Amino acid sequence: MGLSQVVHDGTLLAPLQFGGNLIELAILFLVFAIVAAVAGARGVAGMSMRIAKWLVIIFIVLAIVAFVL
């Protein structure tokens, strides 16, 4: 058993297991951006899109790291 593996109650756990909150937040910010763009708030729409983009990037990086380990 390596350092990155933990056995708890007979179940093998991966080191970076967490809920899918990052992708849910990214979708939420994407919806905010679309609503803000339709309402004419370009600044809010742009910032919401940037936040959604970074959340997706972080999610992808963490997913790749979790698959590699």
Apex 6 CA angle, 17 and 10, nearest 5: 100
User: Is 25 within the bounds of a domain?
Assistant: yes
User: Is 1 within the bounds of a domain?
Assistant: no
User: Is 41 within the bounds of a domain?
Assistant: yes
User: Is 27 within the bounds of a domain?
Assistant: yes
* pLDDT tens-digit readout, 7-44: 556 665 555 555 568 888 888 999 999 999 999 999 99
> What is the rounded end-to-end Cα distance, in angstroms, of the chain?
13
Q: Report how far residue 63's alpha carbon sits from residue 50's, in angstroms, rounded to the nearest whole number.
A: 20
Host domain of residue 50: 6-68
Are the C-beta atoms of 49 and 27 separated by less than 8 Å?
A: no
How many domains does the chain contain in total? 1
What six digits make up the tokens of 54?
């970074």
User: Is 31 within the bounds of a domain?
Assistant: yes
User: Is 19 within the bounds of a domain?
Assistant: yes
pTM of the shown model? 0.66
